[in-house]
Amino acid sequence: MQNLSVICEEYPFIQYCIEVAENKVRLNDELKWQIDEKLLSRLLNSASTKPQWFDFSEIALDRISNPAQLDLLGHSNEPVILIKTDNGSSIYLFKLKKYETSDDMFYGRDQKYLIEKCLILWLSNYVKLEVSGKESFEKYFQVSKNQQFKISELNDTLIGLNLKTEKLYTSLFNYFLKDEILPETKISLSDSTLDYLQSRDWDFAELETIAKEAFKIASKLSLSPTDIRIKRYFLPEQTQNNSFKTDLADNDKEISKSINDKIPEKQPELKLESKPSLSKLEKTKILLNRYELAVKKLIEDKQPVLGKNIAKVCNPEISAPALTDSINKHKERIADCLSNYPERWPLLRIYYPPIQKLT
C-alpha cells in the first residue's frame, strides 16, 4: 500500500488519511491512542457507498476530552469523512484539521461539498495508479494538474455564488434600513452572518426583524456611523415557536448603558467618523488614516503587514476583498493625497505594496 500522507501535502486542511476495511481496522501506534477501534468498527459496519460525515468525537478514545463541537447549524469544526471505493474492498478515513481561532472559518455545507468532490477525485486517481503499477511519473503529474484545475473551477464557482448571495442580502438589509441610515452608510455582512441567513427560507417580515435588531447592536459598537459591519452574534435568535427573541428592544436603555460602559473613550486622533458634508478627498484621507492605524498596530504586535491582516485589525473589522476594493475605488484620490501630503501615512508608504505603487 502506498503512503497516504501525500494527500496531506496536497490538501493542507487534512490532518491524516488511513485505509480501513469493513472486517478489520488497521491503526498505527499513534492513532491507537486517539481512536476507539470498537466505535470505528461500528461505523464501518454501517458504511454505505455514499461518503459519510461525522464528528471526530464519535470515534475518539477519550470522549470526555473530545466533546462534539457543533455550532448552531450543526456544523462540526473537527469532522471525519468515510469514502468507500467502487469495488468495496477498502474504505478510506480522512480526518480534517480542527479550526478554533476564527468564527468565519468552519466546515459548512458548501465547504463539505467541495471537500467531498476533491477527495473522491483524488482517491479515484490514487487507487487507479496503485492498481496499474505502470503509470509514469509524467502521467501522475498530469492527473494532479487536472485535479488542481478542477479544484480551481469549483472554487471559482463557489466564490461567484457567495458574491451573488452577499450582494443579495446586503441589498435587502439596505432596503430594510433605508430610513435609519445615512445615504453614504456602507452595510457589510460577515461570512457567518451570510451562512446563517441561508440556513432556511425566511419571509420578508422575519428578515426585516433580523436586519433592524442586528443594526441596533452593530451601530452601537461601530466607531463609524457610515461603516457598519453586521456579525453573526448580532442577529436575534429564533425560538421554538418561530418568533424572535427581542430582549434588546425591550431592555434597550439598560443594554445600551452596558454597551457604552464597556466601550473605551474614543481618542480624537482615532476618530473615523465622516460627516455628510465631507468631500470625496476628505473621505479618502479618513480611509488612509484608518489603514495607517491598522499597519501601526500590526508592527507593534510584530505581525506581517499583509492585506488580510490589515483588514482584520481595522476598527471595525473588514474583509480582505473589501480592503482591496476600497483601495481600487479610491486609487486616483489616494495618489493625490500621497503627492499633496508627503509627510503623512509613512507606514503605508513603506510597508504596504498596493500603496507604494501609488506614490
What is the C-alpha R_g of the chain? 25
In this predicted model, what pLDDT tens digit does every residue of 122-180 receive, in sequence order?
887 776 645 554 455 566 666 777 777 778 788 888 888 888 888 888 888 888 888 88
Would the pLDDT of 93 be above 80? yes
Measured CA to CA, the distance from residue 335 to residue 357 in angstroms comes to 9
Calculate ∠ Cα 44-50-53, nearest 5°. 65
pLDDT (mean) for 257-278:
48
In this predicted model, what pLDDT tens digit does every residue of 296-355 receive, in sequence order?
999 999 999 998 999 999 877 888 888 888 888 888 999 999 999 989 999 999 899 999
What pTM, to 2 d.p., does this model score? 0.34
Residue ranges of the alpha helices (H) in 222-319?
A: 247-250, 252-262, 280-300, 307-313
Nearest CA-CA partner of 319 in 178, 151, 159: 159
User: Among 64-68, 79-83, 137-141, 202-206, which range has the highest average pLDDT?
Assistant: 79-83
8 A C-beta contact, residue 295 and residue 352: yes
234: CB partners within 8 A, 6+ apart: 193, 213, 214, 217, 218
8 A C-beta contact, residue 225 and residue 265: no
**How many residues are listed for the chain in this entry?**
359
